[in-house]
Amino acid sequence: MEIRNLKPGQRAALHTKQGDFECVVLESPQSGIILIKLDSGYNIGIREEEILDIKIIKEEKEKRGSEEEIKIEKNLPNVALVSTGGTISSRLDYKTGAVKWLNPELFKICNIARIETPFMKASENMGPEDWEIISEKVAEMLNDNEIDGVIVTHGTDFLHYTASALAFSLGKIGKPVAITYSQRSSDRGSSDARLNLVCAARFAVSDIADVALIGHANSGDEYCYALPATKSRKMHSSRRDTFRAINAKPIAKIYPDRIELIDKYNPRDDKIKINAKSKFSEKAALVKFYPNQNPDILDYYINQGYKGIVVEASGLGHVITEGKNNWIPKLKKVIKSGFVVCAAPQTIYGELQPYVYSAGRELEKTGIIYLKDILPETALVKLSWVLANPALKKDIRESMLNNFAREFNPRISEDEFLN
């Protein structure tokens, strides 16, 4: 069968250069890309030239429900939605793969006034170019006087990277931005999609003008947490309450009918207009330090044209400082040449304190930038953002140590450990 004869709604077996897939064909927003829904619930795109053979299994009937009868209520706030893929986009809709799963409960909270699908990707396939697209789209929506808040739906695995990218690129915002997910597809009884999306809508119409991750707070279905974008991380491969605030508190508990505040937040100010700094460099890397690691790994990145790396340092901020794999000479050499080296805590919890031990003090003299209690993933996104923006790149050390989006917590409390 020829590719041009594929139609949305067909169940097909695709033989491709990447492997074999049984799937439902969706309508693709991009020419040259065949968008499909896998049985796992994920939507993925495959380039036409990657497809070697196609076999139609059967025609699927589109699921229809009460969402078709929903009416726009003029007295409700207007929310815009950006759908990028992931399990939360998993109920069958053969035109977009991302709209018909909207739960009628949602429309008791707000009107979904606008829906954009810039692409459909699993989050592990996203990178700086995608962060730029999402940032620009969200900024445009926030600047729309008719929009009261924005929801972004996203795959879970690398959602915290995109959340950090939005927090840095958007800067000070006057309306809420909720980024939400689902660990289990919405056609499963144990799905977290319904509650997460309803709570995201509740956040999007609130007075909290922050970028926040919205998702299950525990294994039940009672409420979600709103988590700070730059201080949160996926901490479990499959649990519905996979995301946790690290070295920080949740912003709020969100129930379907109310919000209970937990920590400080930026208040809504609809007059604020966004001038997004949405560029991100692809020449930043994240490297985990491990025992006996050869510092020549830095030469690899330099030879590949990278401009800087974040090292996940051990303990209070250490790498090897003696013996055959002593990092100090190499660090002095590469940093003097203009290569940027930052350190983030491999422990995730706690902060780097290079002055406690002599090894840390010697490392600090090389010019390595110690990024306090920042999450390693957030540090990578921040370095990528700083390297891509000329005004920030003028003084990289100052920019990396500036607390742009509450990525640093100057007062970490005991109850923020394994909260």
Which of 195-199, 293-297, 382-386 has the lowest average pLDDT? 195-199
pLDDT, greater one: 183 or 208: 208
Residue type, 169: S
Do 222 and 95 belong together in one domain? yes
Predicted pLDDT at 304: 98
Q: Token digits for 89?
A: 């986009």
Percentage of residues in the chain with pLDDT exceeding 70?
Answer: 88
Q: Token digits for 80?
A: 């815009």
Active site residue 153: no
Q: Please say which residue of 230, 261, 292 terminates a domain.
A: 261
Do 193 and 315 belong together in one domain? no
pLDDT, greater one: 106 or 87: 106
Could you give the CA distance from residue 234 to residue 306 in angstroms, rounded to a whole number?
Answer: 27
Whether residue 372 is contained in a domain is answered as yes
Predicted pLDDT at 281: 98
> What pLDDT, in 10s, does the model give residues 274-300?
999 999 999 999 999 999 999 999 999
Question: Is 160 within 8 Å of 243 (Cβ atoms)?
Answer: yes
Whether residue 109 is contained in a domain is answered as yes
Rounded to the nearest 5°, which phi and psi values hold at 271? -80, -20
Out of 96, 117, 153, 156, the active site residue is: 156
Q: What is the 3-state secondary structure (H, E, C) of 341-364?
A: EEEEECCCCCCCCCCCCHHHHHHH
> What pLDDT, in 10s, does the model give residues 247-271?
999 999 999 999 999 999 999 999 9
Alpha carbon 322 to its chain's center: 38
Beta strands 243-245 and 232-234 are antiparallel
Active site residue 162: no
- Whichever domain contains 393, its CATH number is 3.40.50.40
Q: What is the pTM of this model?
A: 0.83
Instruction: Assign 89 to helix, strand or coil.
Output: helix
Whether residue 12 is contained in a domain is answered as yes
346 CB neighbour count, 10 Å cutoff = 17
Q: Token digits for 380?
A: 């990578």
Rounded to the nearest 5°, which phi and psi values hold at 167? -60, -45
Could you give the CA distance from residue 358 to residue 210 in angstroms, rounded to a whole number?
Answer: 40
CA distances from 242 to 41, 106, 215 (A): 18, 23, 8
Do 293 and 228 belong together in one domain? no
Give me the chain's average pLDDT, please: 89
- Whichever domain contains 147, its CATH number is 3.40.50.1170
Burial of 302 (0-12, 13-18, 19+ CB in 10 A): middle
Whether residue 273 is contained in a domain is answered as no
pLDDT, greater one: 93 or 356: 356
Question: Is 119 within 8 Å of 84 (Cβ atoms)?
Answer: yes
- Whichever domain contains 22, its CATH number is 2.30.30.520
The residues that bridge with 68 in the sheet, in sequence order, are none
Report how far apart the first and last C-alpha atoms of the chain are (Å, whole number): 54
Burial of 258 (0-12, 13-18, 19+ CB in 10 A): exposed
Do 23 and 125 belong together in one domain? no
Do 212 and 94 belong together in one domain? yes
Q: Please say which residue of 193, 228, 261 terminates a domain.
A: 261
Whether residue 267 is contained in a domain is answered as no
Residue with tokens 């919890």: 349
Question: Is 192 within 8 Å of 199 (Cβ atoms)?
Answer: no
Active site residue 87: yes
Whether residue 179 is contained in a domain is answered as yes
> What pLDDT, in 10s, does the model give residues 343-382?
999 999 999 999 999 999 999 999 999 999 999 999 999 9
Residue with tokens 């996979």: 242
Do 129 and 93 belong together in one domain? yes
Closest by CA to 65, choosing from 34, 105, 28, is 105
Whether residue 302 is contained in a domain is answered as yes
| DSSP 8-state code for residue 326 | -
Active site residue 156: yes
Do 211 and 115 belong together in one domain? yes
Q: Please say which residue of 210, 229, 261 terminates a domain.
A: 261
Could you give the CA distance from residue 274 to residue 141 in angstroms, rounded to a whole number?
Answer: 10
| DSSP 8-state code for residue 398 | H
What average pLDDT does range 136-142 have in this prediction? Answer: 98
Closest by CA to 130, choosing from 116, 117, 118, is 118
Predicted pLDDT at 89: 52
Do 94 and 170 belong together in one domain? yes
Out of 37, 84, 87, 175, the active site residue is: 87
Instruction: Mention every residue, 6+ apart, whose C-beta is less than 8 A from residue 274.
Output: 139, 142, 143, 170, 171, 173
Which domain does 395 fall in, by range?
A: 284-401
Residue type, 14: L
| DSSP 8-state code for residue 62 | P
Whether residue 414 is contained in a domain is answered as no
**Is pLDDT above 60 for 16?**
yes
Instruction: Mention every residue, 6+ apart, whose C-beta is less than 8 A from residue 288.
Output: 311, 312, 346
Do 336 and 396 belong together in one domain? yes
| DSSP 8-state code for residue 268 | P
| DSSP 8-state code for residue 25 | E
Which of 38-42, 194-198, 287-291, 304-308 has the lowest average pLDDT? 38-42
Do 395 and 316 belong together in one domain? yes
Question: Is 131 within 8 Å of 139 (Cβ atoms)?
Answer: no
Do 230 and 306 belong together in one domain? no
| Largest pairwise CA distance in the chain | 71
Query: What is the count of structural domains for the chain?
Result: 3
Could you give the CA distance from residue 246 to residue 140 in angstroms, rounded to a whole number?
Answer: 30
Do 221 and 186 belong together in one domain? yes
